Structure formats: C-alpha cells, structure tokens
A and B are shown apart, each in its own frame.
Chain A
Amino acid sequence: MTDTTSSKSKSRSNPDTGYEHLAPMFHELAELDEQDPRRSGLRNELVTGHLPLAEHIAARFSNRGVPREDLVQVATLGLINAVDRFQPDRGTDFLSFAVPTVMGEVRRHFRDASWSMHVPRRLKELNLAINSASAELSQRLGRAPTPSELARHLDLSQEQVYEGLEAGNAYHSMSLDEALSPDADSDSLGETLGETDTALDGVEDYESLRPLIERLPERERMILTLRFFRHMTQTQIADRIGISQMHVSRLLTRTLEQLRQGMLGDEPD
C-alpha cells in the first residue's frame, strides 16, 4: 500500500474496486477439470461477488425507458458470460475484460429492445408482464402459452393480453446497416455457418443466399439456423439464447425480410 495522494492516478488505470479478493478464484477455476464438481460453486461465487459491477453498469443506463430490473438482468447475463469466457492466463485482469462485455450486452439490449414509437407506459409494462409470464408458462407447459392461458395466469382479460401482445410490435426495428454489422460477441456460434451450408444443399437459390446469410450478425444467423434447419420452436430458441420469444419473433421477421431483399437485389433477371 502506498500513500493516499497517489490513489487518484492509480484509480484510473487500476481502479481500487473491491473485487481484488476474487481474482485468485479465476486461476483456481481455470485449473479445475471440466467435470470437477467444485466448478459450479466457484463460478457462483465469482458471479455473485461481481454482481455490484453488473448493477453499477445497469444503473448507468437507467432512466432511458427500459425498466431497471431488465437492465440488471441483462447486465447479469453479460457478467455470467464474462465469467465463463474469461481466461486469466491471457494477462488482462477480469474487470478490463468484463466491463466492455457487460456494457456491450446492455447496449445491445437497448438497440434491440427500444421502442420506436411512443407507447404508453401501461402498455410497455403489460408487454413486459406478458413476456415474463410467457417464459414461465412455457417452462411449465412445455410449449408456448396461448393468449387465454396468459390472461388466466395474469388475471387479465383476453383483450388486455391482445393489446399487450400488439404493443410488442412497436419495438424499434434496427436499420439495415446496423443489422448487417456483425456482432463479435458470440464466438461459440461460429460453427453454425458450416451447418447451414449442409442444410442448404439442394436449395436452388443457395448461391445468392449464402453470402447474405454470412453477412448476418451471429445471433441472427444462429436463430435462423435453429428455426429452419434444426426445427426448434421460437420458444425453445428464446430459451436457448436467453431472450424473449417476442424478441426472437422480431429478429426472425427482420432477418427473413433482409434475405428476401438481398435475393431480389442480385437476382440475374
């Protein structure tokens, strides 16, 4: 420990964050065998220990029209990803790896989940309530719920559920350019391209389709592959990727639209 006068400059490059005691656990985790039962305990401790970081980042984005608890949830997911992907032997410390990862996750949520037109708060909340009820009921039923099941579960009228579902359509849809810029944050999805290739054998417009699929962001390509080549339902995909079914639906709609537009664009005649 040094004198207090240097602490200011020190905090810029290597903030005195209160997470230092957790750092050795990453090395411990990295040394454990894949199957080791102690792994999950360590992982939990690392995630819980860093939770204030996720909350802090979520707070920086609050009051921008997305409910605070959603942001904390998204940031926490980002944190879990960061814990899972961090490699302590690379020489960087966890925070410089985690902060951009978590921020990226929150930004992406904003980009995907912001509302494009003014929707009354009541409807936004209704839509959010339906989203979480839908996730819960899907778990219980083993399939997506119907509007009447949602109404019963939430103690709402069916008309209210219809309204809330429709409100989801007012979510912001990204511009084409934005959607075409690849996300570099889901490295585990790289192999989906090869899989898509095999699955597309025999599709006559394969030649014009392939470059379009390659240009899709990883996550969109993953969703496309899971829905059309592995025949997973939107609810199963939502569960796998960690977003809502409505969000999967919006992304798929947009992806198919882009593919169609792209195919029209370079059709020979």
Chain B
Amino acid sequence: MTGSGDERPDEIELRLGAELTNLPIIRSLTSSIAMRADFDLDAIADLKLAVDEACSTLVTRAAPDAVLKCVFKVSKDEIRFVVSIVSTNDAAPSNDSFGWRVLTTLTDHTNSWVEPNGQSGQHLVHIELAKRRADGPA
C-alpha cells in the first residue's frame, strides 16, 4: 500500500463537534498530514495556522449542535483543505476581515462560499484553502 499513486489524491476526512476546544485535534492532524507530505517546516506551520483560523471562523457561525467537517486532499504539489459548517447565517466570511488577510497570507489559495442546506433557514458555509509545496532548492 505504499505505491506512489500520483494520480489519485488521498483524502482524509474529520468530523467533529463545532467547538473551539476541538481545534487542537484539527491542528495536530494538519501538522501530521503536512509533515508526512514532507512540506518544509514553514509551510507546515503556515498550514496549521491557516486551518486553525478557518475552523475558528466557521465555529463562531455554527448552528447549534453543528458538526464541523474537515477534508484534506493531499496531492503531489499541494494540500487542499475544505472545512464546512451548517449555519443559520447565509453570509460568506468577509474578504475584508483581518482573519481573511491571515488566510490569504498563509496559503496559496483561499476561497469561501455558501449554499442552501435543504432544511429551512439553514446554510452550508465552506472555506477552502490550498498550500502548495515550496519549490525545491533554488
């Protein structure tokens, strides 16, 4: 099972209660994934911070008893992270906030979007991040 499988991105999914106290679990999973993907230490640290920020943003707009869903996709060149939450608020996270600046500084790609969640008055809010592998030795 150690095949390189370049074409097939590995997906890792984590679902947990939308509580700030759960953030350390997500942080250590992030760190573990980025370490094992052999990202450099700066990239590992940046991704951890960014995931932390994205998850905190969504936790604060979670509907009661909502589940935070985190999906990591590891491919050859990047780690992509999507976090989603059910919210009663249909506004996407603001692109002018300090938190957004943090995300865009730390990652190579940042995006957020909102979609209806079927049930009346509920919405699904997503934040997507991608961190690319730094170029090798110059």
> Which residue numbers of A lie inside 8 Å of B, CB to CB?
134, 141-148, 162, 165-166, 169, 200, 202-206, 209, 227-228, 231, 233-235, 245-246, 248-249, 252-253, 256-257, 259-260, 263-264
Which of chain B's residues have a CB closer than 8 A to the CB of A246?
Answer: 41, 45
B94 on interface, CB distance cutoff 8 Å: yes
Contacting residue for A146 out of B39, B53, B96, CB 8 A: B39
Which of chain A's residues have a CB closer than 8 A to the CB of B98?
Answer: 200, 203, 205-206, 209, 259, 263
CA distance A162 to B29 in the complex (A): 12
Majority SS at the chain A contact face: helix
Majority SS at the chain B contact face: helix
Which of chain B's residues have a CB closer than 8 A to the CB of A257?
Answer: 52, 56
B contact residues, total (Cβ < 8 Å)? 31
Contacting residue for A228 out of B38, B105, B137, CB 8 A: B105
From 71 to 117 in chain B, residues with beta carbon under 8 angstroms from any chain A beta carbon are 94, 96-99, 101-102, 105
> Which residue numbers of B lie inside 8 Å of A, CB to CB?
27-28, 31-32, 35-36, 38-43, 45-46, 48-49, 52-53, 56, 60, 94, 96-99, 101-102, 105, 134, 137-138
Which of chain A's residues have a CB closer than 8 A to the CB of B60?
Answer: 264
CA distance A260 to B98 in the complex (A): 10
Contact yes or no, A142 B138, CB < 8 A: yes
The distance from the CB of B17 to the nearest CB of chain A, in whole angstroms, is 18
Q: List 5 A-B contacts (CB under 8 A).
A: A146-B39, A166-B32, A204-B94, A228-B105, A253-B49
Contacting residue for B105 out of A143, A204, A231, CB 8 A: A231
Contact yes or no, A205 B38, CB < 8 A: no
Contact yes or no, B31 A166, CB < 8 A: yes
Contact yes or no, B138 A146, CB < 8 A: no
Task: List the 7 closest pairs (A to B, CB-CB), nearest first.
Answer: A144-B42, A144-B41, A249-B45, A144-B40, A204-B96, A146-B38, A233-B42
In addition to A234-B46, A235-B42, A245-B45, 15 A-B residue pairs with Cβ atoms within 8 Å of each other are A141-B137, A145-B41, A162-B32, A166-B31, A169-B31, A204-B94, A204-B96, A205-B98, A228-B101, A248-B45, A249-B48, A253-B49, A253-B52, A256-B52, A257-B56
